[in-house]
Amino acid sequence: MAIGLLGGTFDPIHIGHLRSAEEIRERFGLDRVIFIPAGHPPHKTRRQVLAARHRFAMARLAIAQNPAFAIDDLELRKPEPSYTIDTLRAFRRDHEATEIHFILGIDAFQEFATWNKYESIFTECNLVVTTRPQYTMKSLGEILPPEMAETFRLAQDPRGARFVHPCGTAVHIVAIAFLEISSTRIREAVRAGRSIRYLVPREVEQYITMHGLYRR
């Protein structure tokens, strides 16, 4: 089994998330991509995040039509903020023989060196870093301390740059469709009374309307 994990606040989930998951699933031959909504995102304390039950419900609606997509509420079941390393280890306990690809955008990867026990994340799973409009990255040295970046070996890979960690796992940098969509932009559009049609799945748009979300 090879699976992808896509963590996020998903406030709300949008087409950019779904397209990223689909392209990486296809390119890496993943059996499944599991979406993991964050309970209390450690990186998003500056603004009010929508209640987890709504974010989870929208993500579940968004992935329902894709048999290769699944959703896991393991971070929502805990009262305290979840760190990715803990999520990965919890996941590993239940899926021992599975090859894990943790998918994240360059914007998220740029903060990676501030993540809890990030060195251990490298040994726990593969990372797939996807392109995103307005974010660029040429080498690991831009993100990681130089002495750590130097331990990775650059390898040829038709899917994109592959940096191999001494333990055998890899960090892939992969170009995906540039979709200029963010949850921030969706929230702003709803607040301003503008259409979000075709930026989120129909079911998500309907859910937002039905529950009067993001109006203020």
Binding positions for ligand ATP, rule: CB under 6 A: 8-11, 16-17, 20, 104-105, 107-108, 130, 132, 179, 181-184
> Which residues make Cβ contacts (< 8 Å) with residue 49, sequence separation at least 6?
9, 11, 40, 41, 55
Of the pair 11, 72, the CB lying nearest ligand ATP is at 11
Provide the minimum distance between the beta carbon of 26 and ligand ATP in the complex, in angstroms, as a whole number.
15
The secondary structure element, H or E, covering residue 33 is: strand 32-37
Provide the minimum distance between the beta carbon of 48 and ligand ATP in the complex, in angstroms, as a whole number.
12
Nearest to 179 by CA among 139, 214, 134, 137: 134
* Residue pair 9/183 in contact by the 8 Å Cβ criterion: yes
Of the pair 162, 187, the CB lying nearest ligand ATP is at 187
Of the pair 68, 179, the CB lying nearest ligand ATP is at 179
Cβ-proximal residue to ligand ATP, closest one:
105
Provide the minimum distance between the beta carbon of 152 and ligand ATP in the complex, in angstroms, as a whole number.
20
Say how far apart CA 122 and CA 144 lie, in whole Å.
12
ω into 12 cis (within 30 of 0): yes
Provide the minimum distance between the beta carbon of 63 and ligand ATP in the complex, in angstroms, as a whole number.
14
